[in-house]
Amino acid sequence: MSQFEITKKNKVVRGAKRATYDEQEIFEILDAGFLCHLAFNINDQPFMIPTAYGRRGDILYVHGSVKSRTIKNVAKGVPVCLSVTHLDGLVLARSAFHHSVNYRSVVIYGTAVEITERSDKNEALYCITENILKGRWNEARKPNEKELDITGVLAIKIESASAKIRAGGPVDELEDYDLDIWAGHLPMQTSFGDSISDEKLKEGIAVSSSVKEVEGNKFS
C-alpha cells in the first residue's frame, strides 16, 4: 500500500481518526468529482478559485484564461493548495452540538507548472474534459490554435496530500440516548437530470452518447 508521507503540512489533527493518507483512496475521491477550489497567496493576499480539474497519475490539471490572475501568478511557481469535497449526507443527532455531515474530502499541496506546448495542452484539456463527462471529448470540436493560445493550462504535481472521510450515524452523549428525539443520518446523492437540448440545436440531432450514458445517474 502506497501512501503520502505525513508531515506538519498535511497531518490531520482535528478528527485524526477519519484521516487517510492512502494514495489510492485519495485518487478515488479526486476521480469521483471534477470541481475543486484552488487556493494561493499573492503579496500576502489569499485567493481561492473554483475550477474544473482532471487527474493523470499524481498530476492534476486546471485551466483558465491566460490573462487570469490564477494563470499569470500561479504559473510562476507559487505554492498552491487544492481541495475537493463530496457531501454524502446529513448526520442528525439528538443534540444540536453533535449534528454533522458525512463526507469525503481531500486537500492537496503542490506547485504548478504552466504547460505551453500545444500538444501537451490538448492532452491536459482532454483529461479535464473527460473527467467532467467521459466520452465528450471525441464528440466535440477540438480546440483550435487561437483557443489554445488564449487558454492557460497548469499542471500541479501532488507533493503532499491527506483525506478525511466520515460515514454512518450520529455519536451522542451517553445521557442523550434516552431522549425522545429521532436521530440518524440522511444520505444525499448528486445526480444528473434529463438533458435539455440547446434551443439553437439543428433539427434532427440526437442526444450525444456521453450524455445518454449518465442521464438520471448518480455521479459521486
Same domain? For 200 and 121 the reply is: no
User: What is the mean pLDDT of the segment spanning 85-113?
Assistant: 96
User: Does residue 81 sit in the same domain as residue 138?
Assistant: yes
Domain assignment present for 156:
yes
pLDDT of residue 146: 95
Question: Domain limits at 87?
Answer: 16-170+184-188
12 near 162, Cβ under 8 Å?
yes
Same domain, 208 and 137: no
Does residue 164 sit in the same domain as residue 197?
no
Could you tell me if 207 and 147 lie in one domain? no
Banded pLDDT at 75 (limits 50, 70, 90): confident
How much is the average pLDDT of 62-86?
Answer: 90
Q: What is the mean pLDDT of residues 201-219?
A: 89
What's the structural domain count of the chain? 2
CATH code where residue 31 lies = 2.30.110.10
Give the predicted TM-score (pTM) of the model: 0.91
Residues with Cβ within 8 Å of residue 54, at least 6 apart in sequence: 34, 60, 61, 124, 126, 127, 128, 129, 130, 131, 132
Same domain, 162 and 68: yes
Residue 149 lies in a domain: yes
The residue count of the chain comes to 220
Strand partners, 55: 60
State the average pLDDT over residues 179-206.
Answer: 94
pLDDT above 70 coverage of the chain, percent: 98
Q: Is residue 178 part of a domain?
A: no
